[in-house]
Chain A
């Protein structure tokens, strides 16, 4: 079923809330990878509130869909979406980064309910996702695996080892989404280590490539639905995003890969988010 306008409005509401929560968590944590958290906020929103079959009351449910966020520094985005989904109370995120907190910069799946894999070191998630998908297929299970990659992460050779394997093993029960925000710590991806022609690289590895605006729920939904139906080759969605999306002073600004905010900056950030959603 194509996504309706009403459903898009509901997702927008969730994404607005998630962006507020990401800002709050950045303040609680004393600093976070907020730029990349905001760039994938819409990806997380559509996955958790439209596509992922999960049960927050039973996080280990065998037949759930799996999501591996390979860009593990996006913990500041994942933790609040899991709270919103009901895996734990949002209040617990106030301990973020504090001594003995279950929540650190890179989420630990053995400590945080709902996290399917501990990631952080880049270039690991796609291999684990291929393993999960191969596992599901071998078990003849219908659950899906989703993997979110960072674009800078695709400098890692291991991503392409995994891509080669996904293609060789004809893994079609896996949807890979690249958060193509075009920035990495030291600068623009094309300046530090060029990825283009990025889509062609994936095609050359045997993938069906769909390029979408990663902040447009209709485009994202169509691409995810089509990828789920693909039965001949693995799928990747290159989601063109804006790092820091929603906060005017962070957008496309390499300085906001990681940052801290006081209450003044946080209020300015929330006001900017509100303006984007027409709530100001």
Chain B
């Protein structure tokens, strides 16, 4: 059993709970600790698991029905009244249906609202593109004042939800829908908003990843070491904004080959954020963004989709081998510059 072992609360079995369920339980514990926390949803108390909080704190829980624009407007008002709202709906609706309320009511006014969006990426793959949230990171990270976090698994979700309470201003935490095995074994690995967690060191290539791809990248790195003798660094870049640019630049200099992985459109998400840093640095490196190509996803169960889009370990191994064979412009003076 892999446990979420917060200092003040019950142990959760992260191998038997989804990220959303762990979020619901952690929010409950935080609710007992912080009377200013209120929960809001738009008819997705059960799906997003914020209902676990609602069951325990019915007086501090507001279900506004299927009306996401109003959801975020009401949350903004409650933040103005002095509460700390946690707002949950699906990533697609938080980022698109209520896009302007999130941007103008919450980010422009820099309100202390925490958005925990579930069903991110193609984790609800059978539902199809109406319910996929494959653009949310791109949208959310373009809003000033917003912090964007994509936790690797249930354990990191617990860490992120805890950490965001003390992190001022709007925070967007994006989790998946269903059950996914965890990468982390416990919470004590020094999670810090804005700081990448290096889960494997290496010198040949760096995989920068987030969310559900972290576990797959770790597995790919292990196989590539055994089969190809490759030394792969893996960075869990759970915070997309503010991005840990220092870790990105260290990867450029140390390994000069970078692959980004994300369950998101390859436009505008983690890969784009990393590419911006590399481009601005003036350093050349072999670079590949892996995500959902710029198309509406196929329908299917997530494991089949992740396989199709090369976001599982086998796909990542193929991508790494391809990038290892790619040339980049050498610059012998690099050592002097860094």
Contacts and interface: CB of A to CB of B under 8 A. Distances in A.
Interface stretch (B73-81, B181-189, B210-218, B246-254): B73-81
B110 interface: yes
B73 A128 contact: yes
A69 interface: no
Question: Which of B65, B73, B105 has the most chain A CB within a 10 Å cutoff?
Answer: B73
A121 interface: yes
Nearest to B98: A158
A224 to B, nearest CB: 20
Interface stretch (B56-64, B196-204, B275-283, B309-317): B56-64
B109 interface: yes
Interface string A104-138: 00001110000011101101101111111111101
A127 B80 contact: no
A126 B83 CA distance: 18
A110 B73 contact: no
Contacts of B60: 138
A117 B109 contact: yes
A134 B62 contact: yes
A10 to B, nearest CB: 31
What secondary structure prevails in chain B residues at the interface with A? helix
Interface string A143-157: 000000000000001
A168 B110 CA distance: 28
A162 interface: yes
Given A121-B104, A124-B105, A165-B64, A132 B70 contact: no
Interface residues of A, number: 33
A210 to B, nearest CB: 23
A5 interface: no
A126 B78 CA distance: 12
A133 B78 CA distance: 8
Interface residues of B, number: 28
Q: Chain A at the B interface: mostly helix, strand, loop or mixed?
A: helix
B11 interface: no
A108 B107 CA distance: 12
A253 B119 CA distance: 50
A5 B72 CA distance: 43
A261 interface: no
Contacts of B38: 138
Interface string A1-41: 00000000000000000000000000000000000000000
Given A118-B109, A138-B38, A164-B67, A132 B73 contact: no
A67 to B, nearest CB: 12
Given A138-B60, A165-B65, A158 B70 contact: yes
A161 interface: yes
B83 A138 contact: yes
A161 B67 CA distance: 6
14 contacts: A110-B110, A117-B105, A118-B109, A128-B80, A131-B73, A131-B76, A135-B81, A138-B38, A139-B82, A158-B70, A158-B101, A161-B70, A164-B65, A168-B65
Interface of B: 38, 59-60, 62, 64-65, 67, 69-70, 72-83, 100-101, 104-105, 108-110
